[in-house]
Amino acid sequence: MTEHGGFGPTCPRHPDRVALVSCQRCGRPTCAECQRPAAVGVQCVDCVKAQQRRSRTLVTAFGGRATQGRPVVTISLIAICAVVWVGQRVNSKVTTDLWYVPILSKEDPWRFLTAAFVHSPDTPFHLLFDMYALWIVGQYLEPMLGRVRFLALYLISAVGGSVGFELLASTPKTVTDYNVGWLTPTVGASGAVFGLFVAVVVLNRHLGLQIGPMISLIAINAVLGFVVPDVAWQSHVGGAVTGGLCAGAIAVLGRQRATMQWAALAGVTVLLIVLAVIRFDAVHLPTA
């Protein structure tokens, strides 16, 4: 044991410091900087690192890193949407800068994604409804997939919702035909949420779990999209199809081929981009 000027043992990592506390695992003296709390006493930083290297990282059934506690990604997405909504109330330019309009697809491609983070600024109910749905499905899916895969699924489904709106929205027939989907802004996270809904069905079916309640929920919301005015059902369809494709790829590849899941998700993203470009180039707006 190293002594420091005769005053006591010193820390192996910091020989100039007296260490009067010993590691409970290896017994070596450890200074305050190198101490880590343990169930009983403290451990030195070297023993903690060695234990972490030996411990296997727990993964979910679909290859994501297993986490415990609050659904951090879900809460973060809800918080971002809430902050953006406050910004919309303060400055209307936030809404117009982030909403999605098919005619702006080529000029402002980021709108395919940002539209999922803005909601109707005139009433909080649009935001509250979408965020409640996100909370319900997010706290179930996030632990199942792992945080990173869940976030990827949400973001890709959000883009898919905008692409679905672009593909299915009506186009103007005359120069004065302004009341068409191609020129209509759309906002909201419902496209991404529909992607999560369908993902639950796909993944639960793969695991042999119950899917009836989620199918019923999807059916009810789908009907509301056609019955309630000013609801972009096209985004719901696009998000649902995209979420199903992403979840299907994750389920089929499984955790044994977890790396290939990312290639599949990238493939879905590329497919969305290709479809968006083809649709935009195929639409010929009338001229005077």
Each residue of 42-64: pLDDT tens digit? Answer: 888 888 777 766 555 677 778 77
Terminal alpha carbon distance of the chain: 91
CB burial of residue 68 (10 Å; 0-12, 13-18, 19+): exposed
Residue pair 203/268 in contact (Cβ under 8 Å)? The answer is no
Distance, in Å, from the CA atom of 100 to the CA atom of 181, rounded to the nearest integer, reads 11
Question: Is the whole-model pTM more than 0.85?
Answer: no
Give the rounded percent of residues in the chain with a pLDDT score beyond 90.
Answer: 56
Q: Higher model confidence: residue 282 or residue 24?
A: 282
Of 102-106, 127-131, 253-257, 260-264, minimum mean pLDDT range: 253-257
For residue 273, give Cα distances in angstroms to 54, 106, 164, 229: 43, 11, 11, 29
CA angle 157, 207, 156 (to 5 degrees): 10
Distance, in Å, from the CA atom of 136 to the CA atom of 78, rounded to the nearest integer, reads 12
158 CB-near residues (< 8 Å, 6+ apart): 112, 113, 115, 116, 189, 191, 192, 195, 239
CA atoms within 13 A on the CB side of 149: 32
Q: Is the pLDDT of residue 28 over 50?
A: yes
Token pair of 163, please? 């692409």
Q: Higher model confidence: residue 49 or residue 129?
A: 129
What's residue 64's pLDDT?
78
What integer is the mean pLDDT of 23-36? 83
Q: Identify the band that residue 242 occupies on the pLDDT scale cut at 50, 70 and 90.
A: very high
Class of domain 72-282: mainly alpha
Average pLDDT of the chain is 87
For residue 18, give Cα distances in angstroms to 29, 37, 235: 9, 19, 65
What's residue 1's pLDDT?
42
Q: In the chain, at which residue ranges do the beta strands (DSSP E only) sit?
A: 21-22, 29-30, 35-37, 42-44
Count of all residues that appear for the chain in the document = 288
What's residue 268's pLDDT?
97
170-229 confidence digits (pLDDT tens): 888 765 666 778 889 999 999 999 999 999 999 999 988 888 888 888 888 777 777 776
What's residue 93's pLDDT?
96
What integer is the mean pLDDT of 90-114? 95
Of 20-24, 163-167, 189-193, 237-241, minimum mean pLDDT range: 20-24
What's residue 287's pLDDT?
64
Give the other-Cβ count within 10 Å of 229's Cβ.
4
In terms of Cα–Cα distance, which of 27, 31, 26 is closest to 15? 31
- DSSP, res 176: T
- DSSP, res 34: G
Q: Is the pLDDT of residue 4 over 50?
A: no
